[in-house]
Structure formats: structure tokens, C-alpha cells
Amino acid sequence: MAYAAPPETVTFHGLLFDMDGTIIDSTSAVVKHWHTIGNEIGVDPEVILQTSHGRRSIDILKLLAPEKATVEYVRQMESQLPKKYGSEAIEIPGARALLDQLITANAPWAIVTSGSEPLVHGWLEVLKLPHPGHLVTAESVENGKPDPTCYKLGWSRLGLPADAEVLVLEDSPAGIKAGKAAGCKVIGLVTSHTMEQVVAAEPDWVVEDLRSVKMVACGEDGRVTLQFSNALIAKVQ
């Protein structure tokens, strides 16, 4: 299969972005971070890394080191990640341009992430990326992705009605499933998982990264019209 679908234009009332793998790529930093933490808490770092992407640190710790599974420990631990490994993270291609378009048009958008608040703000500061007006983090919900609560909360914080068309931008299968379960349309990015893994999670569109997503209009009512180009296929069935 090739990323060669013709351009498609779709209109939404609001956009909900995942963070890591969607706006930034901090994979190498996270690998180093979990190796350090794993050695500190006596858990094989490779075991942690097998299940960590797209999931909250507290959920991983509940399984592998329950005594460390507290909000306070996670916030302190994750606050150090951008400070220690700031040079390891890069932005996902197309992310900055899309966010700048949305901000200029005053379009409704939010970040919905499995990371903690200190982690999110730390990375946005390091990479000089815009901070969202609305943010849902690991601390915001009882259960992480693939539970849809985080995306339902993001939807609510944008002040959108129940019949709104909302787009989730995600890279992890757990996040894609959460977005779909929350009633959103989902575009899956092949940035952290294989094409096959992303397709298996059943997003509505699949693209390589955010260079394939451009804002082409924003109405006075806040509705955002996007163009998806070079998708894997027009729609994933």
C-alpha cells in the first residue's frame, strides 16, 4: 500500500491532539528515561518499554511496581524527563505548521495526553511549541487510554455539543481506540507504530505524519476545514 490517496476535505467543530508521537517525538528520550527508572525501581527497562507507548506511566507502574504508582511520584519522575533529555526530542513533521494555523484562526483545539502536566509543559517549553488553551493529562482521568474518558473530557472542555464533529489526531493503537470509543473521527499517524498496527486499530484515515494535514478554512462559527493528502487510503474500513 502507498500513501497516495487523493486529497480529501473534511470539516470539524474541534480538534483533539495526542502529544507524544503526534506533536513531538521523544522516543529516544523516553527509552533513556525508562532505562534509568527501571534500574532505580528494579524492573527490567525492556519489559517497561514493551508496553509503555501511549499509556500513562502510573498504569505501567501499577502493573510492574505498584508501590511507585502514585500521582506524586509520576509527576516528579516525568518532570525530569525534558530537563535531562531535552535535546533528544524533535517535533513531528507538520505539527508546528498545523498548530500555528489553528491558533491564527482561533480554532478550537486541545491536547489530550497520557503524560503528566509537568511532562507536557516541559516538552512544549523545550521545543518552543504553543501551549494549548485546553489540556487533558494523566492526572485528569481515573483510567488512561484506551479508555475513552480522556477524549470525552477534551471534547467537553472545548465546549462542543454532543452532536459535534470532533477529530482526534493519534499515533498509538490505544489512543486511536480511545478516540473512536469517544465518538470522534480519528486520523492515525504512522510515527511510532507500524502501518499494520495503526490500521488494525481502525482509524478513519491513516497518514505518515502531520504534513498531510492542513487547515484550509475556519468559519466564524469556529468550524475548521482540513485537507488530508497522501493518506494510505481514503478511508480505513
User: What are the pLDDT digits (tens) for 107-163?
Assistant: 999 999 999 999 999 999 999 999 999 999 999 999 999 999 999 999 999 999 999
The 3-state DSSP class for residue 232 equals coil
The angle subtended at Cα 225 by Cα 222 and Cα 229, nearest 5°, is 155
* Max Cα–Cα distance, the chain, nearest Å: 55
The 3-state DSSP class for residue 99 equals helix
- The catalytic residues are 18, 20
Q: Which residues of 179-202 are buried (b: 16+ CB within 10 A; e: fewer)?
A: bbbbbbebbbbbbbbeeeebbebe
CA distances from 17 to 86, 171, 190, 221 (A): 21, 10, 15, 20
Predicted pLDDT at 52: 73
> Could you give the CA distance from residue 48 to residue 175 in angstroms, rounded to a whole number?
18
- The count of other CB atoms within 10 Å of the CB of residue 159 is 12
Helix 45-52 and helix 57-64: axis angle, to 10°? Answer: 130
pLDDT band at 236 (very low <50, low <70, confident <90, very high): low
> Could you give the CA distance from residue 49 to residue 116 in angstroms, rounded to a whole number?
18
pLDDT, tens only, 69-102: 999 999 999 999 999 999 999 999 999 999 999 9
Q: How many CA atoms lie within 13 A of 141 on its CB side?
A: 24
Enter the C-alpha cell of residue 92. Answer: 513531528
Strands across the sheet with 224-228, in order? 8-12, 224-228, 213-218
> Could you give the CA distance from residue 48 to residue 217 in angstroms, rounded to a whole number?
42
The domains located in the chain, with CATH, are 8-25+89-228 (3.40.50.1000), 27-88 (1.10.150.240)
Q: Is 130 exposed, middle or buried (0-12, 13-18, 19+ CB in 10 A)?
A: middle
